[in-house]
Each structure stands twice: as C-alpha cells, then as structure tokens.
Chain A
Amino acid sequence: MDKQSRWAQLRPYMMIAPAMAGILAFVIYPILYLIYLSFFKYNLMNKDKSKFIGLDNFTQIFTRADFYKALSNTMIYTASVVLLTMFISLLIAVWLNKKSKINVIVQAGIFTPHIISIVSISLVWLWLMEPNLGFLNYVLKTLGLPPSQWLQSSKTALLSVIIVSVWQGIGYYVLIIVAALQSISPSIYEAAALDNASKWKVFYKITLPIISPQLFFILVIMTIGSFKVFDTVQVMTGGGPNNATNTIVYYIYGFRTTNIGYSAATGVVLMAIIGLLTFVYFRLLSKKVHYQ
C-alpha cells in the first residue's frame, strides 16, 4: 500500500512539527532577523527611514576601541569566573562528599545564594563594597590592611564583579559535583584501597575521570553563561567606571535605543564567538571526557 508507506514516512515529521514550529518561530526566525538587522542602519519606528549599509556595522565594530575593551573584559571575566568557580566548587564538593549532618547543613548554606535573585545579591554586595561605609573596607581597616575602592575604581571594578559572580555560582556547581561524586561505585575505591593507592592518586586517576562528563558539562554551560553576563554589571556598575566592566552583552544593550542595527551586528559577533568556543571545547575536550 503506497499510501500507507508514505504516511509512515511522513509521520515522524508530523510528530515533531509542533516542536519545530516553536523552534522556527522563537529561535531560527529571530536569529535570521538578527542577521538581517545587522546589515542596516535600522529605524525601528519608521522602516522607510532604515538604510541598508552592508557590512558597515561590522567594520565599525572591529575598528572601535570600546568593542575590544568590552571583548577583553568579557574574556577576563569568563576565564576568571570559570576557573575560580570550578576549582572552588570541586574543592568544596570533595570536602562535603562524606555524608554527615554538618555537611548537609553546610551544603544547604552554600546553595542558598543560588536561589536568591541575582539583583538582590548585586545590591547587597554593592553596599558591602561601598568604599567609605561598606562592610568590606571596615574589615580591611580593622585588620590593618589598606581599604580598596572596589567598584568605584577602574582597577578593581572587574575583580569585584567576578567575586560576586563566583560567590553566587559556587553552590549550584557544588551540588552537581557532589551528586557526581556520590554516584561513583564504592567498589572502585575499595579496589584502590586494596592496591594501597595514595589519596592523591585515587583522586587523580579515579575520581576525576569518572566525574569528567559532569565537569565538562559545567565547563561548557558556565563559559557560555559567563560570556553572556549582564545582570551583575547592570546593577553594580553600569559598565563603568570608564568601561572597566563593560561586557559584550552590556555593550549590545547600550545601543538599544540609538542604533539597533549596530547592536544586532554585535549580537551576531557574540553568537559567532560562542559558537566557535563551544566547537573548540567539543573537539579538544570530548576525547578526554570519560563516558561510562
């Protein structure tokens, strides 16, 4: 029956059609429209006044000093946040791995920042870091250390934002790593103990490879997430002082009312960078990741 076999062929497509319709409407179409916008000096309110300017937006992006400033800020931010969060989360997770009452409480405590709105967190840290009346400088002064200008100096502002992001992110990643650690079968450790393997060796040769899929997952999502940092910057510094904390997404946001074509072009550049990064990760690291 010809009719029936054609239906059999069509059926899977029909089944995924609703989901694909959603993806087309809310993912593919916006991306294509973004690329379309990036070739225009676009007038949102009056389309007749939009001007096609070809690649001008892109030439402008790559010749402007503030774009490179935003790009390098974003890179420094991403690298620091990813490395620090990974390292500290792993350390805490290994420490909290043993199940005891204290550990459960500590783990809940560390996780708490994750369930609080990042805006509230940013505001609280904004007060803590106030140079004259803030708590952090008070502590520094009592300890006899020189106070810092924190968010108000272009030298320390980016570092301050990084501290807040790391502090907020750790809890969530500790949770993932602890879950991964506890899924390791005890028999492997028992075998290692029989062989008199040192603690470091057990960690390096057994624990790390087994939890590597989770670590890889964290690495990828955290890199992408950090590249798109926005809320902390918006609340705490507004990109300042003097662009010291201006990141790419905030840079895009800065042109929202005045030049949406330029914003769109920067968005396309950001998409390309993140795509490239993810691709590199998968090529380089997927071989080192141990899937059971």
Chain B
Amino acid sequence: MKKNKVTLLLVLTMIISLLAGCAGANNGSNTNSGTNSGSANTPEADEQPAKGGKTTVQFWHSLGGKNGEYMDALIKTFNETHSDIEVVGTFQGNYDETVTKLQQAVAANTAPDVSMLERAYVQMFADSEVLEDLTPFLESSSLSADDFTAGLMGHSTFNDKLVSLPLNRSTPILHVNKSMLDEKGLAVPTTWEEMNQVANALVIQENGEFKRYGFTMPYDTWYPIAMISQAGGKFFNDDNTSIGFADNGVGEKVFNQLKKLQSTGALYYPPAQDSGNITNQMFVEGKVAMMYQSTGSIGGLTEAVDFDYVTAFLPKDEVFANPTGGANVAMMSGSKNKEAAWEFIRWMETDPQGGLQFILKSGYLPFTNKMVESAEIKALWEKEPNRKVAYDQLQYAVDTNKAVAWPEVMHEFFSAIEAIMYDSKDVKSTLDTFKKEADRILAQ
C-alpha cells in the first residue's frame, strides 16, 4: 500500500516536472528572437524592457526574396539609428498567410505591435476593432493624411479613423513587348477597341495550336475589377448593400469581352496555380505580346527581357481606371509599446533613410508627396520611365471593393471567374448566382 503511494507521488512529480520543462523550453526559444528567422516569436516575452531599457517592437511582414532583403535592410538602419528601440521583423509568409496568422495571434493575445496588412483586409481587421487609430499619432508628429499619395489612401480610413498607412503598394498596369508591336506596325492600345484589334493581330496559330497569344493576365480578381471600373461600373454599390456591376450590364460586358478575346487566342487565361509566374514567363519568352500585371513586376521584367519593354496605362473603355494593391502598415491596438511602434511607422513612412530607400530598391510606388518630389525618385524615373507610368496611372486609381465582407465576397467572385473563364459557363447566369451570394453575405 505504501509502495503504491510512493509510485503515485513519483508519477505526479514526473508529470509536473514535464510540464515545467515544457514551459521552460518556451521561454528559452523566446530569447533568440532577435534574429529575423521565420519562427513565430511570442512578443510578450520580449516586452519586458530588456538590455539597457530598450523597447522591443515586433513587426510582421510578408516580403520574401529580394524585397525581404530590402525590408531587413530598412529594419537594420532603423535599429542602428535608434538606441532605445529594437524592431524585430518577422517574415510571416504571403499576404493571406500573414492575415491568417495575425487573426490567430490576436485571438491568442500574441499579436505583434506593428503588422503589414494586405490593403483589402484592412476593413475586416478594422471592423473587429483591433487596429489603432493613427490620427493622434500623426498629429503629434505634425503630419497629416494629406502628406500621403491620395490614390493610395483608399483603404486607409474606416469609420473616420485612420487605421493604416500605405507601404508596399502597387497597381495593375499594361506591360508591352514593344518590339513585337513595332514589327507589325501596331501602336500600344489605349482603348478596349484598340486592344481587340492589336491583340488579335498578334496571334500566331499553327496546326490548331497557338504559338503566340495577344495578351494575358494572371488569375486574380484584380483585373476583372479594373475592367469593371473602366466600363463605368463599381464592384460594390455606393452603400455596400450589393454589387455594382450586375444590373447595369457592366459585368456581362466585361466578361463577354474577355471570352471573345479568349476564343480567338487574343487572350491567354492561365491556370490558377502559380498564374503570376506563368504569365511573366510567357511574356519574357515572347509567347505573349502584352500583359496585365502588377507594377511590382517592372523591376524583375526589366532585368529579364531582351526586347524593347514599355509600360502603359490599362486601356480604357468609358474611362481610364485601375484599382490599387499591395499592403499597408497598421498598428495593433493590443500593442503595449505604442509610442515606440509609432516611431517605427513614422520613420519608415517619412524618413529619407527609411521608406524611400525601400521604394527605390524594390520598385513599389512612392507613397508620400515628399517622396514623389525627392531627387532620388526623379532620377529613377528619368532612368526608368516605365516606373513613372505606374505612378502617373494613380490619378485614375479607384478602389470600389471596399467592404468589411470583401474577403468573403472575393471567395465567391473567384468561383464566378473560374466558372466563366475555365468552363465557359453562361456569363449572365453565373453573375446572377454570384450576385445572390454577394447580397446574402453583405446582408449579414
């Protein structure tokens, strides 16, 4: 009997020490979070003012590859110039992955102080009241929302609160293989009508197989939305109760135009998986003459192509119009170091050593008026006029998919795009189904 109790005691001690061991291991892994590895750092452990009263600011971003290196360089410069703040940048995967992680981190109270947020998700986060209103911070630094590029502020405000600021922003643009067009004596199209003619004229077909297509676009909601606003429609109607392109026939016009082009090989619509890389590759190899694609690809394409490569505004229908994309930066309202977090955001947004350097290297759009007027940007545009076109197009920037429920509606819109573009389902009935789903989601 005694023996049993001893055993029990032993077992209990073991369990407890095991549990303690787990906890210990956790603390251990937090101490090395100073390095910018992909590991999930728990900010709480770093919040205690560590060595020499330094405040640690956790910053999550979605920039990998070359752009990730540029972001690391930015963070490094910040840390070198600020003795009292240590910013820890963590790459959290692509935009969607970052959003998923951020949602979970907020729920678990382990969210970072500052995060990059794909602009279309800003409303969803703001609606959950987890983003800090930046207006007082701006005022304290004698800045105002007018200091930022107006075309990029579309997703920054929510219920009169300024909840995010533009960071790595881009917009869709027309990339053109000018050599190919010159060969046939064609001019860069500026309207849908010209697009029809030029794209069709560039098609090469042999034995029923297309050797060359007119133009292409990645699988995304971005480009149909651009065309919807070009044709005078809006993605959501003004009071966000329904979509704004079904009843006025704009949706049908857009998709019929795409289907017509697709049927003659004037448009190549790529498979969904990895579509961005596929279209870029085809453009570089000369298998397609023109491409709707993000301004973010200008840098990479300039290096890769061996032909005369120019950019142009997306062709207009009724009007020139284009949505914007990329990500904003936001402060999480759960942050315990808001002053330090703001100092980082302020420095990144406005300091000539901060965001400007990142923009110059990466090719994203300049986002403050000062930046646009800076000598460095002027010199860059002189050298690479393709990038200036991207900025100039912002005068027509219009974001009509601004709603808390956008991510959910987007899901349905993708289904509609797939049904029409891949399975040639009837445009009208597909859009009717989509409208019904969108209305239901918006009514919730």
Contacts and interface: CB of A to CB of B under 8 A. Distances in A.
Interface of A: 4, 7, 11, 14, 18, 41, 43-46, 49, 66, 126, 151-154, 236-238, 240-243, 254-259
12 contacts: A4-B1, A41-B444, A44-B107, A45-B107, A45-B125, A154-B422, A241-B418, A242-B419, A243-B418, A257-B100, A257-B103, A257-B407
Nearest to A149: B271
Contacts of B422: 153-154, 240-242
Contact of A236 (B4, B127, B273, B418): B273
Contact of A45 (B106, B407, B423): B106
Contacts, number: 70
A45 B124 CA distance: 10
B217 to A, nearest CB: 16
Interface string B417-444: 0110011010000000000000000001
B130 interface: yes
B130 A241 contact: no
Nearest to A255: B411
Contacts of A152: 271
A4 B2 CA distance: 11
Contact of A238 (B127, B272, B411): B272
B271 A45 contact: no
Contacts of A238: 272-273
Contacts of B411: 254-255, 258
Nearest to B332: A45
Contacts of A7: 1, 4
Nearest to B410: A258
Interface residues of B, number: 32
A7 to B, nearest CB: 7
B273 A126 contact: yes
A126 B104 CA distance: 32
B273 A45 contact: no
B81 interface: no
A21 to B, nearest CB: 9
B128 A43 contact: yes
A242 B430 CA distance: 12
Interface in B120-148: 121, 124-125, 127-130
A54 B245 CA distance: 33
Nearest to A131: B271
Contact of A242 (B408, B415, B444): B415
A259 B273 contact: no
B407 A66 contact: no
B415 A44 contact: no
B327 interface: no
B150 interface: no
A237 B273 contact: yes
A44 B104 contact: yes
B272 A241 contact: yes
B99 interface: yes
A232 B67 CA distance: 29
Interface in B364-392: none
Contacts of A257: 96, 99-100, 103, 121, 407
Contacts of A44: 103-104, 106-107
B15 interface: yes
A11 B423 contact: no
A63 B100 CA distance: 27
Given A237-B272, A241-B422, 4 more contacts: A46-B129, A240-B271, A241-B418, A257-B121
Which 10 residue pairs spanning A and B have beta carbons closest together? A241-B422, A258-B408, A242-B418, A46-B128, A45-B128, A45-B106, A242-B423, A240-B272, A152-B271, A258-B407
A45 B103 contact: yes
Nearest to A150: B271
Contacts of A45: 103, 106-107, 125, 128, 130
Nearest to B103: A44
Interface centre among B8, B11, B271, B272 (most CB of A within 10 A): B271
A11 to B, nearest CB: 7
Given A4-B1, A11-B4, A18 B15 contact: yes
Query: Which of A14, A151, A240 lies at the interface centre, i.e. has the most chain B CB atoms within 10 A of its CB?
Result: A240
Given A236-B273, A242-B419, A257-B96, A46 B130 contact: yes
A242 B408 CA distance: 17
Q: Which of B100, B124, B273, B408 has the most CB of A within 10 A?
A: B273
Contacts of A49: 127-129
Contacts of A259: 408
A249 B369 CA distance: 47
Contacts of B273: 126, 151, 236-238, 240
Contacts of B96: 257
Contacts of B106: 44-45
Nearest to B14: A18
Interface in B55-91: none
Interface in B391-413: 407-408, 411
Nearest to B127: A49
Contacts of A237: 272-273
A240 B423 CA distance: 11
A154 B103 contact: no
A43 B129 CA distance: 11
Contacts of A242: 415, 418-419, 422-423, 425
Contacts of B415: 66, 242-243
Contacts of B1: 4, 7
Nearest to A239: B272
A44 B99 CA distance: 12
Nearest to A258: B408
Nearest to A132: B209
Contacts of A11: 4
A45 B99 CA distance: 11
Contacts of B4: 7, 11
A282 B8 CA distance: 39
A194 B86 CA distance: 84
Nearest to A21: B15
A245 to B, nearest CB: 11
Contacts of B129: 46, 49
A18 B16 CA distance: 11
B129, B272, B419: residue with the most chain A Cβ atoms closer than 10 Å: B272
